[in-house]
Each structure stands twice: as C-alpha cells, then as structure tokens.
Amino acid sequence: MAIVMDGNGRWAKQRYMPRLFGHRQGIASLKRCVKACVNRNIKALTVFAFSSENWNRPAEEVSGLMDLLVKLMRSELPELHEQGVRVCIVGEREGLSDAVRASATEAENVTSNNTRMVLNVCINYGGRWDIAQAAARLAAENLAITPDSLQGAMALSHVPDPDLLIRTGGEQRISNFLLWQCAYSELYFTETLWPDFDEAALDAALADYAGRERRFGKTSAQVQVDNPAC
C-alpha cells in the first residue's frame, strides 16, 4: 500500500494555525496509520513525506519539515523496531542535510533485520527521478534497458508494487509519486485531510479496494475463470 499524505496545511489553516502545526498533526496520523497497518498484516507501506518538488515551498516550511522528519526518525525508531518494522528511506539523498542523512542511516541500520512490515518513507523523491536514476544505473553498467531490468533498478525494488494507492485531502492526482510502480495499482481518493485519517478511514479504503476486480489487461470473464472463488 502507498499513501500520498495530503492536507496538513489546509487542516492547520482551518484552525487558524501555521502550516507546520498541521505537519505535526500529520506525524501523529502517520504513527496511527503505521500501527494500524502492522495490525492488519500489511507487508509494505510507502508514504510520500517530501517530494522533489516540495523544495519550492517557503524556506521556513521546508526547514521545519526537515526538522520534523529528523525528530520522527529518532523518536519513533524504538517503537518501530519493537513492532518489527523495517524502515527504508527512499529518494535522492544528495542535497539533504547531514542530520537527515544520519537519521535515515540510523533508522535503516537499526531495523534492517525486521520482517513484519517494510515502511518506505519517501524523502526528496519523485517518480521521474526514480525512472531516470534506474535507467542511468543500467546504462553505466552497459546493461540493456528493459521493463524487467528497470524494475530491478528502481529505488523501491525491495518491495512489490503497491496494490492500493491512497491519496487524502481531496485532490485526484498522484503528483509524481511512484509513476512506474503504480502502473496497475488501484487508486483511492478521499476528502479526508491527512491529520484526520484514522483507522476507520483506513478500513474504508481497504473495504473499497476489496470490492474491486483487478484484471491486469484480462477480461472479467478470464479473471473469473482464473479465480473461481472470487
């Protein structure tokens, strides 16, 4: 599963508070969501924490977000480790501060052997960057660029492509997130702002997903033959 965690700023604005107040509440929502996913036996969760385009936001907000990410990785690491969550920080690390890189490395090292769930936190990530870096890596090794080789060179090659992509906040686009990986993902859009996204909202998304028929290019009749119990 993957999530575009949208709506923190609008949530704060509705309460006449600074945008960073909304981002802090978004961190609390992420903590709830991770725990709920672990309890629901979801094996991989990928969240969009900071996109390659987010650098265009006001400098104060960017700085505040980076500080929050460092605090998140440090403060939540013991609990994530206890829950059996493996943390992976995904994105272009060049350009990130030393503190962010150090916290990312620590989180990955401490949780590297955990197997209950993989939590991918995408920081300075963009889908176009991911495809470009994968192609560049293959070209540098004089390897053929094919769908299979690109898949293996992607920054998220350590987890399966997401079955479900959730976007909160009412927008209906994927905003340069997992462009390659979401080729056949089911998309779920909700008006709920991210700080308000709770277990009930997660279960609503999962219930909606469970009611869909995934055909992967086949006809509905073929799917029924392949999966008679469905």
Catalytic machinery residues: 6, 54
Cβ count within 10 A of residue 123: 24
Polymer length of the chain: 230
* C-alpha to C-alpha distance for 39 and 52, rounded to whole angstroms: 31
DSSP state of 124: E
The two structure tokens encoding residue 75: 């403060």
Greatest Cα pair distance, the chain, in angstroms, is 56
**List of E strands, the chain:** 2-4, 44-51, 85-90, 117-125, 164-167, 186-189
Torsion 52-209-87-130 (CA) sign: negative
* SS3 call for 73: helix
CA 192 to chain centre: 17
Residue whose structure tokens are 């009930």 = 200
